[in-house]
Amino acid sequence: MPIALRGKAKAWQRRDRRTQFAIWSLWLAGTASFVFCCQFIADKTIWPFVFDAPEQVADLAVRMVPPDWTFIGVLWRPMWDTINMATLGTVMAIVLAVPIAYCAARNTTPSAAVLRPIAIFVIVSTRSINSLIWALMLVTIIGPGVLAGILAIGLRSIGFCAKLLYEAIEEIDEHQVEAVRAMGASAPQVAAYGIVPQVMPAFAGISVFRWDINIRESTVLGLVGAGGIGLPLNAAITTLAWTKVSLILLVILASVVVSEWISAKVRRAII
Amino acid sequence: MSVAATAPGGWRKPPVIKSAALRWAIWIGAVVYLAAAFGTTEVNWSRVWEGLPRGARFISAFLPPDFTTRSSEILEGMLESLWMTVVATAAGIVLAVPVGLGAARNVAPAPVYYLCRAFLAVSRSFQEIILAIFFVKFFGFGPFAGVVTLVVATIGFYGKLLAEDIEDVDPAQAEAVHATGAGWLQWINYGIQPQVMPRMLGLALYRLDINFRESAVVGIVGAGGIGATLDTAFNRYEFDSAAAILLIIIGLVMLMEYSSGFIRRWVQ
């Protein structure tokens, strides 16, 4: 316990001098780099536009109410496409994530030297590229449309699902696996009866959780041409039809709330 | 296990979902949905077929990627993304602390609690890109709009997790600090903060990582960062420059992930 002498009395201190100094210098370095970065951002900002913002907000608020409810009939189809992109993309990601997770988990990988690093690399690289960038890439390659959106969502989700799944596989109880193996089960039987039942709840939870995130992500993929509700959103913004924009935002908000509710419900039922 | 299970019929694996009706309903529902989804998805297969050579060209662009032709644009965009990440993470976390305190049931009074929870729910339900579109409209093109977007997203993420963590603290320790006659701020500082600090530091590093990845896309709608450069590279079919940018992003994210794991181990 760090104690300082004040005159002759001993006084309690939270930290000793060295730790205090180290923490203080970390704060100094952090603040300095923050200010340095702010300087760069400030140089690139056109300040009159920023000061103008309150008027812009007020102006837009007036233009956006009331939402144009007659437009809703056109939105069902893109909304259906959005949900399909999220769902089919999640299905695709799960199907691909299972073997990758199996190869990446330390206790199940067939070869720790070759397959595991490859699997880890696939997980990291698919996770670090945002679904919008995947969509941007796929739209230029296979053309605009729902398919590009499904693939973008799927590719982006592989890393996420595989990472959580392989962590779940690494945490299983080895005794159960050993018991199944001791009965003379082959490798596929060990996987089916020793590993799968243990990771099944985690697996279902991960899938539903990712589906919920994907609903949110697929609402914007239309901005780069990959189908869904983002297409009419983009069209409404570029034509400055703000009453339509506010309606689309309400629809998106509703779908996000509903999907979050479903996913919370399902996860509670599983766990 | 019942005796019947060891009868001559042999043992069968127990199903995950116990109720047979629910099990069948889920299967049939899934099949009907998939049929409907595939039936209504319009895919222009000739366009996909046409694009395959372009896809092959894109993949071959990774070997080797072209770092040099657009190096000044790439460097500028990358640095802008990094500055945005640092500023937005720091500012976002500083702002998230009061919101998170307000949204914790055991710290804040009821009206403040509901206000903060509502703010967190709304700020989390819109995608960063949608927020960015509006902030670009309000603040003009450039990194400032991107920073504001990331700050709002950071508050939503960090505030929620901080509030949940505060609600889970050990009340005995907090009460002990209370009993010494500590004021409210002292109570937070000595009773609550030491308990949530290790996890929150880890989450701050994680958010830094997320913000960097997001700063790479807000540029697509004009909010600064490497996204604009990447968008332009794709639109001009300069796949080798795009490949270079993607590799830099992957590399930096991996670097951040490794160093954050290292820092977390050092802190705990």
Work out the minimum CA distance from B144 to partner chain A, whole angstroms. Answer: 6
Count of structural domains within chain B: 1
* Residue B177, beta-bridge partner list: none
Query: What ipTM is given for this predicted complex?
Result: 0.81
DSSP state, residue A9 = E
Residue A140 to residue B54, Cβ atoms within 8 A: yes
pLDDT band at B20 (very low <50, low <70, confident <90, very high): confident
B147, A41: Cβ pair inside 8 Å?
Answer: yes
Residues 6+ apart with CB under 8 A from A71: A243, A244, A247
Q: Give pLDDT < 50 ranges for chain A.
A: none
Alpha-carbon gap: B4 to the closest alpha carbon of chain A (Å): 20
Q: Which domain holds residue B229?
A: 78-267
* Nearest CA-CA partner of B184 in B113, B106, B103, B115: B106
Give the CA distances from residue B18 to residues A270, B15, B23, B24, B60, in Å, rounded to whole numbers and listed in that order. 12, 6, 8, 11, 50
Under the banding of pLDDT at 50, 70 and 90, the label for residue B47 is confident
Q: What pLDDT score does A1 carry? A: 58
Question: For residue B150, what is the domain's CATH number?
Answer: 1.10.3720.10
User: Is residue B4 pLDDT above 60, yes or no?
Assistant: no
Contact B129 A223 (CB under 8 A): yes
C-alpha A164 chain-centroid distance: 12
Query: Is residue B53 domain-resident?
Result: no
Residue whose C-alpha is closest to residue B94's, from B200, B199, B186, B187: B200
Q: What pLDDT, in 10s, does the model give residues A143-196?
A: 888 899 999 999 999 988 999 998 899 888 889 889 998 988 888 888 888 888
- Residue B8 falls inside a structural domain: no
Interchain CB distance below 8 Å, A141 and B58: yes
pLDDT at A150: 93
The answer to whether residue B50 sits within a structural domain is no
The vertex-A110 CA angle with A106 and A111, nearest 5°, equals 80
* Residue B147 falls inside a structural domain: yes
CB-nearest partner of A38 from B87, B127, B142: B87
Q: What is the pLDDT of residue B7?
A: 53
Q: Is residue B151 exposed (0-12), middle (13-18) or buried (19+ Cβ within 10 Å)?
A: buried
Query: What is the rounded CA–CA span in Å between residue A82 and residue A219?
Result: 6
Asked if residue B214 is part of any domain, the answer here is yes
Assess if residue B72 is contained within a domain. no
Does residue B51 lie in a domain region?
Answer: no
Instruction: For residues B210 and A52, give the distance between their C-alpha atoms in angstroms, rounded to a whole number.
Output: 30
Reported as a single tens digit per residue, the pLDDT across B224-258 is 888 888 888 888 888 888 888 888 888 888 888 78
| B6 belongs to a structural domain | no
Q: What pTM value is reported for the model?
A: 0.83
Give residue B1's pLDDT: 47
